[in-house]
Amino acid sequence: MGSETLRSDWFPALSDGLRHAAQHAVPRSDFTMAFYGDLFRPPGRTLAVGDPMFTASDVTDGFELDLLLAWWQHAADIDPAVPPATGSTTLARSPRAAQTALRALQRSRFFADVSLRALVFDLKQVRRYLLDPGLRTAARRRVQERIRPDTRVVVGHSLGSVVAYEALCAMPGHPVKALVTLGSPLGMRMVFDRLLPRPGDWPGSPSPVDRPDSPDPDPAPAPAPRWTNVVDEGDVVAAVKDLSLLFGPSLEGKVVHNGSHAHEATAYLTAAATGSAVAEGLRRD
């Protein structure tokens, strides 16, 4: 997996989203992908015979277990097939907490096609990004390196929405006119409370228009970038659906219906709501 692999999946999906929104297509040459998945890969090694993949026992106490229990609670709230996470505070102190939560989640339509190994890997990926400063900086840099003077729209899915948000907030004067987040966990307290820089006006106060030849010593500030958050009601990862409660009323939320693939990136990208948000960003001067 790499940037070109993702690009081959994302570009046609977004093209369909633009088409569904009755918007003009984007040339493939104008579409680029930032990739940082390799940062999460452990160094290569020789597998011993019977070397196990991730299991419930690999879920660590603290952040990983807390996030797992939060997913379980939200899945139970929206899916009657998932047993309620009653007594989750007590359960968190149980040595079998992770196993119980993973079994419950695998009864959910949202996680039905997700392997246990992938579930545990996702937990570890979120923890490492938020708690490993070196990895966090490297991932954000990958995104920032892709933002050129003519970049107008940034789209981030799942953890990628967190990376995109932080990367742009750390780039004063960037040229981006719109951020589109898909299936974002930004509203979850255990994510929101760890954001760097600390959340404020998205994505910081508008910076003055750079006009070195302008006679006006106090040029008007550039319009603040537009932020659209697209979410499926059944997306467990995007537990908090209305991000404007935390990031302000200028953030626009749109609800889509991705069917049984509630959190899948390509399902979000093909939605007319996503195509409309991207097209609006491209039209902004």
| Domain presence at residue 216 | no
| Domain presence at residue 46 | no
253 by DSSP, 3-state: which? strand
| Percentage of residues in the chain having pLDDT higher than 70 | 84
Instruction: Based on the fold, state whether residues 161 and 275 are members of the same structural domain.
Output: yes
DSSP 8-state secondary structure symbol assigned to residue 238: S
| Domain presence at residue 152 | yes
Taking the CA atoms of 135, 66, 42 and 38 in sequence, report the sign of the dihedral they define. Answer: negative
179-200 pLDDT tens trace? 999 999 999 999 999 999 888 6
Q: What pLDDT score does 128 carry?
A: 96
Q: Residue 38 class from Cβ within 10 Å (0-12 exposed, 13-18 middle, 19+ buried)?
A: exposed
Instruction: Based on the fold, state whether residues 145 and 93 are members of the same structural domain.
Output: no
Q: What pLDDT score does 213 carry?
A: 44
Of 131, 149, 167, at which residue does a domain stop? 131
Q: What pLDDT score does 208 carry?
A: 36
Strand order in the sheet with 252-256: 153-157, 178-182, 226-232, 252-256
Of 106, 131, 156, at which residue does a domain stop? 131
Instruction: Based on the fold, state whether residues 72 and 188 are members of the same structural domain.
Output: no
Of 131, 162, 195, at which residue does a domain stop? 131
Residue 243 has pLDDT above 70, yes or no: yes
Task: Identify the bridge partners of residue 182 per DSSP, sorted by sequence position.
Answer: 157, 230
Residue 262 has pLDDT above 80, yes or no: yes
| Domain presence at residue 51 | no
Instruction: Based on the fold, state whether residues 76 and 122 are members of the same structural domain.
Output: yes
Instruction: Based on the fold, state whether residues 265 and 204 are members of the same structural domain.
Output: yes
252 by DSSP, 3-state: which? strand
Residue range(s) defining the domain that contains residue 120:
56-131
93 by DSSP, 3-state: which? coil
Q: How confident is the model at residue 44 (pLDDT cuts 50, 70, 90)?
A: low
Tally of domains within the chain: 2
CB 244 within 8 A of CB 253: yes
Residue 105 has pLDDT above 70, yes or no: yes
- Distance (Å, rounded) from C-alpha 228 to C-alpha 42? 34
Instruction: Based on the fold, state whether residues 61 and 119 are members of the same structural domain.
Output: yes
Structure token pair of residue 140: 């954000």
Residue 201 has pLDDT above 70, yes or no: no
DSSP 8-state secondary structure symbol assigned to residue 45: -
Mean pLDDT of 101-112: 83
Mean pLDDT of 252-278: 94
Residue 109 has pLDDT above 70, yes or no: yes
Taking the CA atoms of 140, 202, 199 and 229 in sequence, report the sign of the dihedral they define. Answer: negative
Instruction: Based on the fold, state whether residues 182 and 259 are members of the same structural domain.
Output: yes
| Domain presence at residue 193 | yes
- Distance (Å, rounded) from C-alpha 46 to C-alpha 221? 56
Q: What pLDDT score does 200 carry?
A: 67
